[in-house]
Amino acid sequence: MKTLFTILSALILLSACAQQPRQNAEEATQEIYLPDMHTARIALDYEGTYHGILPCANCEGIETEITLKDSVQFIKITRYLGKSDEVFEQSGRYSWNEQGNTISLKGVEKPNRYFVAENALIHLTIDDMPITGELADKYRLRKTE
């Protein structure tokens, strides 16, 4: 009985030490350098309506609503608060940048780009940079539906 126990113990130890198959260098490199495919375009549920009041130099704010639908269509509605009750509506197509994180509204005067975040569109500057400082949060349109 003691001999059987010793043999079983030895077999268990030997099987635990067995070599695992090695990857060749090419396979290992491919695993390390695969691009991250988790872009806003792929990973987020971005279609829907976004709303907010953007800062305005000569009015109380620009009430802005942007609806993204059908993976390429947008509707943008703006109203200049404290200036007039006139509502401006633009519609058309939008496109994504190469990184899949920013959309451009086609046919809309610059700045017309928005960084797509979780449940938000962040209005970018004319140079496609995020606004920083105290007012940064004011340039965020929040998803409403």
Percent of the chain with pLDDT over 70: 73
Residue 122: beta bridge partners? 115, 140
Token pair recorded at residue 140: 């965020």
Model-wide pTM > 0.85: no
- 14 shares its domain with 70: no
Residues of the chain with pLDDT under 50: 25-26, 28-34
> Which domain does 7 fall in, by range?
2-33
Residue 20: per-residue pLDDT? 52
Q: Are 92 and 66 in contact (CB under 8 A)?
A: no
SS3 94: strand
- pLDDT given at position 29: 42
**CATH code of the domain covering residue 61:** 2.40.128.640
Torsion of CA 41, 45, 48, 51, to 10 degrees: -90
Q: Are 82 and 106 in contact (CB under 8 A)?
A: no
Together in a domain, 55 and 124: yes
**Distance from C-alpha of 127 to C-alpha of 125, rounded to nearest angstrom:** 5
Q: How many domains does the chain have?
A: 2
Over the stretch 37-50, which tens digit does the pLDDT of each residue have?
Answer: 677 888 788 999 99
Considering the domain architecture, whether residues 47 and 91 belong to the same structural domain is answered as: yes
Question: Do 29 and 70 fall into the same domain?
Answer: no
Considering the domain architecture, whether residues 46 and 15 belong to the same structural domain is answered as no
| pLDDT score, position 95 | 96
Are both 14 and 81 inside the same structural domain? no
Residues 47 and 111 grouped into a single domain: yes
Phi-psi region of 106 (alpha: psi -120 to 50; beta: other; left: phi over 0): beta
